[in-house]
Amino acid sequence: MSTEQSSGPRTMYEKIWSRHRIIERADGQTLLYVDRHLIHDGSAPAFDTLRERGLAPRAPGHIFGVPDHYVPTDTRDVRAIADPEKRFMVESLTENAAGANITLFGLTDRRQGIVHIIGPEQGISQPGMVIVCGDSHTATHGALGALAFGIGMTEVAHALATRTLWQAKSRVMRIVVEGALAPAVTAKDVILAIIATIGTAGATGHVIEYAGPVIAGLTMEGRLTVCNMSIEAGARAGMVAPDEVTFAYLQGRPYAPQGRDWERALERWRGLVSDPGAVFDREVTIDGTTIAPMVTWGTSPQDAVPIDGRVPDPDREEDAERRQSMAQALAYMGLVPGTKMDEIPVDRVFIGSCTNGRIEDLRSAASIVKGRKVWPGVEAWVVPGSRVVKEQAEAEGLDRVFREAGFAWREAGCSLCLGTNGEVVAPGQRCASTSNRNFVGRQGRGARTHLMSPGMAAAAAVSGHLVDVRRVMAGA
Amino acid sequence: MRRFTELTSTAVPIERPNIDTDQIIPARYLQKPRDGTLGQYLFHDLRFRPDGMPDPLFVLNQAPYREGRILVAAQNFGCGSSRENAVWALQDYGFQAVIAPSFGDIFRNNSLKNGLLPVVLPAGVVGGLLHLLQEKPGEAVAIDLASETVRLPDGTVHRFEIDPFARHCLLNGIDELAFTLSQIGEIESFELRYGRENF
């Protein structure tokens, strides 16, 4: 294990790592300093641990809380949460934050939203930081050039009490996406193509640095989408080098540095980029020009194919274990091998989540929906990722586009991505979803999830089946 | 944290790869209080049919495995969501160790911090063990953490590796928070340096 920084060229990961290294244990584990700790309404057990041990959050000024997992998206009234255990999760976050002087963006606050949407949106997440949150999609914040880890509840308690986290140094995988994307191909298609290529455990034990012209050409929101799904490839963190796109995105946000601090921060941030000649433990190159709009057919995010493809045939798979798990996935999904992906009908459409609940996602979906109607019998929802996103969309008239087409226009939260708030897809129903996981039962028991981009989900909503968004755009 | 030294127990095979934490405990039970009873939700949708009746085909509902304390799983066990409830549900049910060729990173970490021992053995060894447990349900496996070895029903002994600090914590039932708190002076002096450099 290479724990000492070398004098040679260093990766961005090594630079952030060494800047945050407090001490090392004999076994090579390093105590890392935490710049920002984000908490959500699943954090009650960590506060229980602190109370049991007579501890309080050590540095509440760097902790930010927001309810997202258990909040209803048809109202902003906590009392409307019928299940007392779910209501308790939201209420206990409010109490725990107030008791420890932690900044809380509560349910009626303008800044409320999904924790991974609001961190970047408020400028809380910044380049060069170590960011932790008790949620596996924390990798999202790495899009800003930060080292952001999803952690478990014991680690949340540890980070609250000490502002630190023990970590073994990861290997670093660089994924270079070459070339340029075809029209209507989005960040979501890029990350689904990456996961389909390297597999759901392809980056286990690694931190991913996404690079190359396609990544550099993405907007900040697109990069957030890519990094968000790093855990779906097994990586605990994903990151993108900060550049002018990053700085333009951050400048002027409420918690971003201002004035002279901004200038000093820029200087620091520009130095974070991996040095030329830095050595990566693994390099993967993907040709961006070959990426088509992607959809999943199975129950793992790696089960993704281009929309013009077909449901694969397990019998043509050589590996016996893989053959069996494909067959199980197809049985769960109610799909027959050889079926054309664009002939699969849908019952539900979900546009939202920490993967694709940002303003650009809603603009992209609205551009497809405009002037069209949700297919009869399809129930389609838009759940903005934050209230800021919702208000921006309303200012642009996107809510009217969705509503006039027959979409439900809802309040911000995690909602149908995992259904912790009780909003679920019914057993056997098929959902075109912009979220991040198509696991068995993820959107509700027996629910069948197909992952895709916002434009593709919108196209499915107005077509009644999975469809190539480019065909809808062409009016076919 | 629960102490782990050695354990000999019936091993319970779950052959499917990529068992994610949503399958270990579905999201709709995450708000359930941590009161030692989360075992009832373990593998809920695999274990119980939609009508609530146990599915006789699922391994936990089969008689030879009832007292099993060691789970044997395929590759990438515990991938996906960071929910530590997955570890708590396994422990509340009675599991004290999971043997697999590979684990989801966060799940593995969460396991170590709660005293659920994650044992990584080569894929071929685990594949053979899964096969053997299908052929001879109820066979026992012995795990010894001090020597980092597993003895399989066929008598073969295999070595596994655990980070020394985690091993020390597991063997003694102590968690790392106490250790970190003893290092608060180091953290404070780091903070002084760090503040000067960064702001």
- A189-220 pLDDT, tens digit per residue, is 999 999 999 999 999 999 999 999 999 999 99
- The per-residue pLDDT for A2 is 41
Question: B158 by DSSP, 3-state: which?
Answer: strand
Mean pLDDT of A92-108: 98
- The torsion region of residue A369 among left (phi > 0), alpha (psi -120 to 50) and beta comes to alpha
pLDDT at A439: 97
pLDDT band at A6 (very low <50, low <70, confident <90, very high): low
The answer, yes or no, to whether residue A463 has pLDDT greater than 80, is yes
> Alpha helices of B34-122 — where are they, by DSSP H?
44-47, 85-93, 105-112
- B164 three-class SS: helix
What is the DSSP-derived secondary structure letter of residue A6?
A: P
User: Pairing between strand A130-133 and A103-104?
Assistant: unpaired
What is the greatest pairwise CA distance in chain B? Answer: 64
Chain B CB within 8 Å of residue A168 CB: yes
What average pLDDT score do residues B105-127 get?
97
- Are A158 and B177 in contact (CB < 8 Å)? yes
The label of the residue with tokens 């303003």 reads A359
What would the 3-class secondary structure string for B107-154 be? Answer: HHHHHHCCCCEEEECCHHHHHHHHHHHHHCCCCEEEEECCCCEEECCC
Is residue B9 helix, strand or coil?
strand
CA distance B122 to chain A (A): 16
Q: Is A275 exposed, middle or buried (0-12, 13-18, 19+ CB in 10 A)?
A: middle
Give the confidence band of B1 by pLDDT, cuts at 50, 70, 90.
Answer: confident
Assess whether pLDDT exceeds 90 at residue A476.
no
Instruction: Confirm or reject contact between A237 and chain B (CB < 8 A).
Output: no
Residue range A27-52, pLDDT digits in tens = 889 999 999 999 999 999 999 999 99
Question: Rounded mean pLDDT of chain A?
Answer: 96
A149-176 pLDDT per residue, tens: 999 999 999 999 999 999 999 999 999 9
Tokens standing for A286?
């993907």
Give A31's strand partners. Answer: A23, A166
Are B22 and A162 a contacting pair at CB < 8 A?
no
Residue B190, chain A, CB below 8 Å: the answer is yes
Confidence of residue A321 (pLDDT cuts 50, 70, 90): confident
8 Å CB contact of A150 and B82:
yes
pLDDT score, position A27? 84
Measure the CA–CA gap between B137 and B172, rounded to whole angstroms: 32
Whether the pLDDT of residue A4 is over 60: the answer is: no
Chain B residues with CB-CB distance to A70 below 8 A? 31
User: Nearest C-alpha of chain A: how many angstroms from B171?
Assistant: 16
The structure tokens listed for A126 are 């910044």
B28, B164, B180 ranked by CB distance to A27: nearest = B164
Tokens of residue A34, six digits: 């935490």
Q: What is the mean pLDDT of residues A379-395?
A: 98
ipTM over 0.90: yes
What is the chain A residue with the closest CA to B88?
A153
Q: Do B45 and A153 touch (CB under 8 A)?
A: no
Average pLDDT, integer, range B46-70: 96
Q: Which residue has the tokens 């290529």?
A: A197
Q: What is the DSSP letter of A425?
A: P
Residues 86-105 of B with CB under 8 A from A: 87, 102, 104-105
How many CB atoms are closer than 10 A to CB A147?
29
For residue A456, report the phi and psi dihedrals to the nearest 5 degrees: -65, -40
**What are the percentages of helix, strand and coil residues in chain B, rounded to 5?**
40, 20, 40
Query: Which residue of chain A comes nearest to B127, CA vs CA?
Result: A321
**A136 or A6: which leads in pLDDT:** A136
Give kind and range of the element (H or E) at residue A432. strand A430-433
Please tell me the predicted confidence (pLDDT) of residue A26. 85
pLDDT at residue B199 in the model: 52
Q: Is A83 left (phi over 0), alpha (psi -120 to 50) or beta?
A: beta
Directed axis angle between helix A387-395 and helix A359-369, to 10°? 40
A134, A45 contact by CB (below 8 A):
no
Residue A97 and residue A112: Cα distance in Å, rounded? 14
Say if residues A168 and A29 touch (Cβ distance below 8 Å): yes
CB nearest to A440's CB, from B23, B84, B190? B23
pLDDT at A28: 87
Residue B34: pLDDT over 80: yes
Instruction: Quote the tokens at residue A82.
Output: 């019928």
For chain B positions 116-155, those within 8 Å of chain A (CB to CB) are none
Question: Looking at chain A from residue 83 to 102, which residues have their Cβ under 8 Å from any Cβ of chain B?
Answer: 83, 85-86, 88-89
Partner residue facing A27 (CB), from B15, B27, B165: B165
- What is chain A's alpha carbon radius of gyration, rounded to the nearest angstrom? 22
A1 pLDDT tier (thresholds 50, 70, 90)? very low
Closest to A413 (Cα-Cα) out of A330, A465, A357, A452: A357
Averaged over A282-305, what is the pLDDT? 98
- Interface residue A150 vs chain B (CB under 8 A): yes
The C-alpha atoms of residue A384 and residue A413 are separated, in whole angstroms, by: 7
Residue A295 in contact with residue A433, Cβ under 8 Å? no
How far is it, in rounded angstroms, from Cα B178 to Cα B182?
6
CA of A62 vs chain B CAs: smallest distance (Å): 13
Kindly state the average pLDDT of the residues A395-405: 98
Q: What is the pTM of this model?
A: 0.96
Q: Do B84 and A23 touch (CB under 8 A)?
A: no
Question: Model confidence at A3, in pLDDT bands (50, 70, 90)?
Answer: very low
Reference A462, options A476, A443, A445; nearest CA is A476
Q: For residue A269, what are its two tokens? A: 């941030």
Q: What was the pLDDT predicted at B197? A: 72
pLDDT digits (tens, 9 = 90+) for A406-417: 999 999 999 999
Any idea what the Cα angle at residue A27 is, between residues A21 and A29, rounded to 5°? Answer: 30
Find, in chain A, the residue whose alpha carbon is nearest to that of B112.
Answer: A154
Chain A environment of B34 (Cβ under 8 Å): 45, 48
Instruction: Inform me whether the C-beta atom of residue A446 falls under 8 Å from chain B C-beta atoms.
Output: yes
Averaged pLDDT score across all residues of chain B: 95
